[in-house]
Structure 1
Amino acid sequence: MQPTADPAPAVTRRAVTDDETRAASRRWWDGDADDYQAEHGAFLGDADLVWCPEGLREADARLLGDVSGRRVLELGCGAAAGARWLAGRGAGVVAMDLSAGMLRHARLASDRSGIPVPLVQADGLALPFGAATFDIVCTAFGTVPFVADSQSVMREVARVLRPGGRWVFSITHPMRWVFLDDPGEAGLMAVQSYFDRRPYVEQDDDGVPVYVEQHRTLGDRVRELVAAGFVLRDLVEPEWPEGHEQVWGQWSPLRGQIFPGTAIFVAELP
């Protein structure tokens, strides 16, 4: 959930605007794209849809249903491994991200895999698509936690979906915000209020946010979906699989065997 940088910025919990959040996210992910792909690229693959650090793959979970012939938008696509996996299964895919640095890696991975997908640089609060354009919208840890007004993201997704369309997104499980971001024993102690919705903010010496991540409770997320017109079909909390020993930030076998690290919301537009 919360990365580190060198030199380490000051960490706080405080309100931020959408403009501050947008600027911080673009700057962070542009600057971190190379390191992120170097560390996690092999785990995510060039053409695979992995929902979470627990390693749940869409090939096994099938949360999106049959994608063949469907129009799909991947929000916060990063290097767009999920979009290429979907394209390989017959979907008409568009991959979108705020970060030019991450989209650069998406182009490189398309060249390596031989699976090109259209790439769009845009803001999740103002999707550059017409109404009822897509059958499915999805994101694995993209967009939703990185905007101050996530309710607007839900409305935008509802706008671009056709009736009967599906919206699936994974985020850090909200209960994880109770604990420190530590994959070891220190990360097993509850130290923060679950109900403190102030975002996690890393800021420079001038107080300018350089990384922002938002917290909402499970109930908040459900209410956001319902208010945007969605029906919640499932809430998946992946268990830590036996034999999976990889540590990813605060995700680890130690913590994953005790409480969930990821929540995946599966919703449909009536």
Structure 2
Amino acid sequence: MSNQHASAEQALGTTGIVKRGADAAESRVANRIWWDADADDYHETHGDFLGAADFVWCPEGVREDDVRFLGEVAGQRVLEVGCGSAPCARWLKDNKADVAAFDISEGMLRHARVNNAATGIDVPLVQASADQLPFRNDSFDAACSAFGAVPFVADVQEVFRELARVLRPGAPWVFSVNHPMRWIFPDDPGPLGLTVTQSYFDRTPYVEVDDEGRATYVEHHRTLGDYVRALTNTGFVVEDLVEPEWPKGHTRNWGQWSPLRGKLFPGTAIFRTRLTS
């Protein structure tokens, strides 16, 4: 992680990075405490870009208002997965969808409640993990996630299986994640981030730990093929894979995203999928 997260690392006692696995339970705990610790800094850094009631798919600035990946949402029951402060869910509700949103982090949901009050758009919020959904079968017409939850869960197939359970047949499931090819480069927006340092095929999670070896942050890598297989194994059809190009005139760095890297290789993968009927 970069030094923009120094306050969270200090609060959690993070002392280093280890090369080891992390199961579902450890991943849940680590990412709950991480996002609780980082929520304030995250929103201070990125809040203006994300907005309080806007649907931004990625640091490249792709907006649902322009692309309509979810189709017509008015009158649809939509679930936002890993909502953070829930600006996407508020945009959906403002566009006449019936929305529910969840996140594993109470710190993130605290910001979501503040923005509910500030905008007057009151989105129902639930604290939950993406691999343990507290919703009934066949209860949503669509699901979406803009860089939420998916990379932080140990078993992505379990996430998709849970979504297949709560979605109705034919429902779209659209989500954005770090482009898997980014895994091979250091997490750096500058020239150091242009040199390959690890294998694309190394699926060992990125794990930060404290001085007793407890995980304080976990992120899981999957190849493009891993995502496709996990989706098709759980009943989804991949309709499109969107790899946004870096927009002209977009000078803002976002963590490892930068104009320097963006002009050379993709930073985001947006999977447009649909549950089979």
**Does 1:14 pair with 2:47?**
no
SS in 2 for 1:9: strand
Please point out which of 38, 44, 54 is paired with 1:38: 44
What is the deviation of 1:184?
0.6
**Does 1:216 pair with 2:218?**
no
What is the deviation of 1:17?
1.2
Which runs of at least 4 in structure 1 moved beyond 2 Å after TM superposition? 1-9
Counterpart of 2:86 in structure 1 is: 80
**Does 1:134 pair with 2:144?**
no
* C-alpha distance in structure 2 between counterparts of 1:14 and 1:89, whole Å: 44
Q: Equivalent pairs: percent with the same residue?
A: 61
* C-alpha distance in structure 1 between counterparts of 2:71 and 2:237, whole Å: 16
Counterpart of 2:116 in structure 1 is: 110
Taking structure 1 as the reference length, what is the TM-score of the superposition?
A: 0.98
Counterpart of 1:247 in structure 2 is: 253
What is the deviation of 1:14?
1.3
Task: State the Cα RMSD in Å.
Answer: 1.1
What is the deviation of 1:220?
0.2
**Does 1:166 pair with 2:166?**
no
SS in 1 for 2:65: helix
Please point out which of 254, 263, 269 is paired with 1:257: 263
What is the deviation of 1:33?
0.6
Counterpart of 1:235 in structure 2 is: 241
* C-alpha distance in structure 2 between counterparts of 1:216 and 1:122, whole Å: 22
SS in 1 for 2:162: helix
Please point out which of 199, 204, 207 is paired with 2:210: 204
The answer for unaligned runs of 5 or more in structure 2 is none
Please point out which of 121, 124, 127 is paired with 2:127: 121
Please point out which of 13, 26, 29 is paired with 2:35: 29
* C-alpha distance in structure 1 between counterparts of 2:99 and 2:241, whole Å: 24
Please point out which of 185, 188, 193 is paired with 1:187: 193
SS in 2 for 1:222: helix
Counterpart of 1:154 in structure 2 is: 160
* C-alpha distance in structure 2 between counterparts of 1:179 and 1:229, whole Å: 32
* C-alpha distance in structure 2 between counterparts of 1:103 and 1:148, whole Å: 22
* C-alpha distance in structure 1 between counterparts of 2:255 and 2:60, whole Å: 12
Taking structure 2 as the reference length, what is the TM-score of the superposition?
A: 0.95
What is the deviation of 1:4?
3.8
What is the deviation of 1:12?
2.3
Report how many residues are paired.
270
8 Å Cα contact 2:35/2:107 also seen in 1: yes
Q: What is the identity, as a one-letter code, of the residue corresponding to 1:57?
A: R
What is the deviation of 1:11?
1.2
Q: What is the identity, as a one-letter code, of the residue corresponding to 2:91?
A: W
Q: What is the identity, as a one-letter code, of the residue corresponding to 1:173?
A: H
SS in 2 for 1:223: helix
* C-alpha distance in structure 1 between counterparts of 2:180 and 2:267, whole Å: 8
